[in-house]
Amino acid sequence: MVAALAKELQLRKDEFKNQPVETIYFGGGTPSLLTIGELHYLIETVYKNYQVSTNPEITLEANPDDLITASKSNGHDSLSAVQRSLSIFKDYKNIGINRLSIGIQSFFEADLKLMNRAHNAAEAKTCLEEATKYFDNISLDLIYGVPGASNAQWLANIEMALSFGIPHISSYALTVEPKTALASFIEKGIIANVDDEQAHDQFHILKDTLEASGFVHYELSNFGKDGYFSKNNSAYWQGKSYIGIGPSAHSFNGKQRGWNVKNNSKYINAIMSSQLPIEIETLTLTDQYNEYIMTGLRTIWGVSFDKVELDFGSTYKTYLIEQSKIFINQQLLYIDGAHLRVTKKGQFLSDGISSELFKIN
């Protein structure tokens, strides 16, 4: 698989021949299961085949249980003497990784068990204690709207994250996927269903607490201190081109979206035969407009009326102005100079608002 990933990077280098690589992101699945040598090999392959900017953001996604090894003793869980982490973080830094995105989700045992996470609360804290010794650019994920988790408990989660000096937090409302254990427990009445009103309240607790601590709410689900916004994710929201490498990976060049075959064997066989196992969809002008509205309204940058007129034409600009009036009247949107942005009241509803501004051919 690693050899195939490297070869796909080589096969696709012409797609980026006229622009620098600003971010390298190891994410999706569990990339921290790769060895240091494998990660280093893939980073070197990027440098050999692409023009890389002077200070690229190189992020690795990881879960606490991947980074901290736990041992069993007398039937009780107890943390070992941080068997891997004392060297693993140093090794990551030595091969060029300069940002970690850690899937903490919660510092409470009950939440982690409900979400079927592999790590426990003690591992989450130990992981951050070690990671912060080597990295200052760390993002962690937190989940709100967990059934049974009070607003006070949610605030304690946020405050625990802040106690580690973390400069970036991504936070999402718990979603119940069909055919999961969580969905089954809810259907059987074993646990309560997700409470949308509570999730709404906890979103605003998150926003108010982090902004009071110097964070900027720069995208619906993302908060960062100055200088610590995710360059990788910001590129998605600002419509920049990106190449996704590996099975199921998605790519975008501004006008086309592509996705690789999901099956590992089919992916490897195709790549080793120098074939790209990718399907490509060419976006219509309306598709491009709708995507811009959807991503723009999620961010502090909002939607530029000038960009809409320049990229899509005056008809689209007029349509946007007319469609947005009802939401402006409801104080969910507002016009700031030449930009349309969501209000604090409208932020939690931004995806639904965006869909109402979409243009249908």
| CB contact set of 147 (below 8 Å; sequence gap of 6+) | 114, 174, 186, 191, 192, 193, 194, 195
Tell me the two tokens of residue 86: 């004392």
> What is the Cα–Cα distance from 59 to 97, expressed in whole angstroms?
6
Position 186 scores a pLDDT of 61
Q: What is the mean pLDDT of residues 285-306?
A: 95
Helices and strands (H, E) in the chain, number of each type: 15, 15
Instruction: For residue 147, name the pLDDT band (cuts at 50, 70, 90).
Output: confident
305 with 225, same domain: the answer is no
Would 185 be classed as within a structural domain?
yes
**Structural domain count, the chain:** 2
133 with 61, same domain: the answer is yes
Would 88 be classed as within a structural domain?
yes
> Are the C-beta atoms of residues 121 and 112 closer than 8 Å to each other?
yes
Q: Beta strand pairing status for 250-252 and 256-260?
A: antiparallel
Q: What is the mean pLDDT of residues 306-313?
A: 96
Question: For the chain, what is the radius of gyration of the CA atoms?
Answer: 22
Cα 160 to chain center, whole Å? 21
Would 10 be classed as within a structural domain?
no
CB neighbour class for 361 (10 Å; exposed up to 12, middle 13-18, buried from 19): exposed
182-210 residue pLDDT tens: 556 566 666 666 678 888 999 999 999 99
> Are the C-beta atoms of residues 165 and 106 closer than 8 Å to each other?
no
Of 186, 220, 237, the residue at which a domain comes to its end is 237
347-360 residue pLDDT tens: 988 989 999 999 98
Position 72 scores a pLDDT of 29
Position 149 scores a pLDDT of 86
> What is the Cα–Cα distance from 359 to 343, expressed in whole angstroms?
22
Position 41 scores a pLDDT of 98
Whether the per-residue pLDDT at 84 is higher than 50: the answer is no
Of 195, 219, 237, the residue at which a domain comes to its end is 237
205 with 344, same domain: the answer is no
Whether the per-residue pLDDT at 277 is higher than 50: the answer is yes
Residue 53 φ/ψ, nearest 5 degrees: -65, 165
Q: What is the mean pLDDT of residues 19-37?
A: 90
Would 312 be classed as within a structural domain?
yes
Whether the per-residue pLDDT at 176 is higher than 80: the answer is no
Range of the domain at 60: 20-237
Q: What is the DSSP letter of 284?
A: P
Instruction: For residue 248, name the pLDDT band (cuts at 50, 70, 90).
Output: very high
Residue 198 φ/ψ, nearest 5 degrees: -65, -40
Would 261 be classed as within a structural domain?
no
In this structure, which long-range contacts are made by residues 196-203, counting pairs with CB atoms below 8 Å and at least 24 apart in sequence? 196/145, 198/145, 198/151, 199/144, 199/145, 199/173, 199/174, 200/348, 201/151, 202/144, 202/145, 202/151, 202/154, 203/144, 203/173, 203/347, 203/348
Higher pLDDT, 330 or 195: 330
29-38, 217-226, 286-295, 337-346: range with lowest mean pLDDT: 29-38
233 with 310, same domain: the answer is no
Share of the chain above pLDDT 70, in %: 90
232 with 343, same domain: the answer is no
Instruction: For residue 28, name the pLDDT band (cuts at 50, 70, 90).
Output: confident
Q: What is the mean pLDDT of residues 243-251?
A: 96
Would 255 be classed as within a structural domain?
no
228 with 105, same domain: the answer is yes
Would 359 be classed as within a structural domain?
yes
CATH number reported for the structural domain that contains residue 319 in this entry: 1.10.10.920
226 with 129, same domain: the answer is yes
Q: What is the mean pLDDT of residues 4-15?
A: 97
Whether the per-residue pLDDT at 313 is higher than 70: the answer is yes
Would 87 be classed as within a structural domain?
yes
Position 196 scores a pLDDT of 81
In this structure, which long-range contacts are made by residues 134-137, counting pairs with CB atoms below 8 Å and at least 24 apart in sequence? 134/89, 134/90, 134/92, 134/93, 135/89, 135/92, 135/93, 135/98, 135/99, 135/100, 136/167, 137/57, 137/98, 137/99, 137/100, 137/167, 137/168, 137/228
Of 204, 237, 270, the residue at which a domain comes to its end is 237
Whether the per-residue pLDDT at 77 is higher than 80: the answer is no
Residue with tokens 């723009």: 296
Position 185 scores a pLDDT of 58
CATH number reported for the structural domain that contains residue 40 in this entry: 3.30.750.200
227 with 313, same domain: the answer is no
86-108 residue pLDDT tens: 578 999 999 999 999 999 999 99
Whether the per-residue pLDDT at 71 is higher than 80: the answer is no
Among residues 163, 114, 111, 113, the alpha carbon closest in space to that of 140 is found at 163
